[in-house]
A and B are shown apart, each in its own frame.
Chain A
Amino acid sequence: MHIITHACTQCGTVVSANELESNRVMKCPGLGCENVLRFTDLDQADQEHFLDNKASYEL
């Protein structure tokens, strides 16, 4: 499985694509970090791959 994650550019906290996609826009879960993370922060190719294979990223 191609595992897609995004690392916050401000604090390094890593968030998986399924988490980003289910929230679309979220406050970074890093401690004290105010950065906003979006599913669209992922590479275009990763976004497409995730959406094309969404079922396999759900339990």
Chain B
Amino acid sequence: MKGVLLSGGTGSRLRPITHTGPKQLVPVANKPVLEYAVEDLKEAGITEIGVILGHKGREEIQDLLGDGSDYGVEITYIVQGNPLGLAHAAGCAKDFVGDDDFVMYLGDNILKEGVVDLVESFESGDFGAGIALQEVENPQQFGIADVDDQGNVTQLIEKPDEPPTNLALIGMYVFSPAVFDAIEQLEPSWRGELEITDAIQSLLEDGYAIDSHVVEGWWKDTGKPEDILEANQLVLEDKSLKKRGTVSDDATVDGRIELAESATIEDGAVVRGPVSIADGAVIKSGTYVGPYTSVGPNSTLEGVHIENSVVIGESSINTSGRIVDSLLGKGANIGSADDFLPEGRRLVVGENSQLKL
């Protein structure tokens, strides 16, 4: 079994964060989303991973993952170039995959349970493909699978008016090499892409059994800022957090805190977990860091009340304001306008930023 990890895409829904890097490297609980995927594949015993690169952020992704040795895996890069759809991305991996089966994992997705069960379920029978499904409340808005009593997929329907089930496809797949013949026969859809659901449908029509695995734990596609915040909550909720940094005697710390070795919580600061604070971060007097916040490396917080937020890193936040439900890009600085005249906020804001004042 090999792994194919998709790391292309424009990340347009995560601007301005993605003006300077690929969406797969946005950190959740101070770890890039893409690393969770590599770790999930490794956990499922998959150590040969093809990483599909698009146009954007190639060097950053290669800088992070390298040859994979830091993660105990072996990485081959596959440059897709034009984003012609998931089935095109899979097709570009044909020479890498060879005669093996492979897991296809969308690099901006994150799921609680990993892919071990998906792989085991696929390997328990003779299947052309296996798909991960999750129960959703609004099946009309998803690609939906109909399955029989044994969990074999009988039909795939895109955004059905009358959904036969509430089981949505969630962007994790296992394929046999038979998928490459199916992809070779595909034509681009109305949106000009080779659709992976069309490839699976074609396998079904050719008589292949398609396995399904219903994912019980949470799953997040981190395409939008609110999804990053939600993924950050979910990971902080589940992760075991270690306090290795320095907490001053007169700091108040409750709940579960991840504090990196060179991070400091100074006297007069209040931190209430679950929270993750990365290396080089300093939480100064008068600061409140509330639940579900991740403070990235080399950030300094002073006087601010912040909660349910992600500070990516290299930020200085020195204000008495309250910040909630926010995503701050690398190097974003926030100061106080209290002593300025005329009264008012002073902003230097990048393209596609979103502020609520």
Binding site for B on A (CB under 8 A): 1-3, 5, 7, 12-16, 18-19, 22, 29-31, 56-59
Contact = CB atoms under 8 A, between A and B. Distances in A.
6 contacts: A3-B94, A13-B78, A16-B81, A19-B81, A30-B77, A56-B188
B76 interface: yes
Contacts of A3: 88, 91-92, 94, 183-184
Contact of B82 (A5, A15, A59): A59
Nearest to A29: B79
Interface string B56-89: 0010001000110000000011111111100010
B79 A14 contact: yes
Nearest to A23: B81
A18 to B, nearest CB: 5
Contacts of B79: 13-16, 19, 29
Contact of A14 (B78, B83, B193): B78
A31 to B, nearest CB: 6
Interface of B: 50, 53, 58, 62, 66-67, 76-84, 88, 91-96, 183-184, 186-188, 192-194
B62 A31 contact: yes
Contacts of A18: 81-82, 84
A59 B50 contact: no
B192 to A, nearest CB: 6
Contacts of A5: 78, 92, 94-95
Contact of B192 (A13, A15, A16, A59): A59
A59 B186 CA distance: 16
Contacts of B80: 16, 19
Interface centre among B92, B93, B188 (most CB of A within 10 A): B92
Contacts of B82: 16, 18-19, 57-59
B76 A1 contact: no
Contacts of A56: 188
Contacts of A16: 78-82, 92
Contacts of B188: 1, 56
A1 B186 contact: yes
A16 B187 CA distance: 18
A16 B79 CA distance: 6
B310 to A, nearest CB: 29
Given A1-B187, A3-B184, A58-B82, A13 B77 contact: yes
Given A1-B194, A19-B79, A57-B84, A14 B50 contact: yes
Nearest to B58: A29
Given A5-B95, A14-B96, 4 more contacts: A1-B84, A12-B96, A14-B79, A31-B77
A14 B94 CA distance: 10
B81 A22 contact: yes
A43 to B, nearest CB: 13
A45 to B, nearest CB: 14
Contact of A12 (B76, B88, B91): B76
B92 A14 contact: yes
Contact of A29 (B50, B53, B66, B183): B53
A14 B97 CA distance: 11
Q: Which of A1, A13, A57, A58 has the most B CB atoms < 10 Å from its CB?
A: A1
B78 A59 contact: no
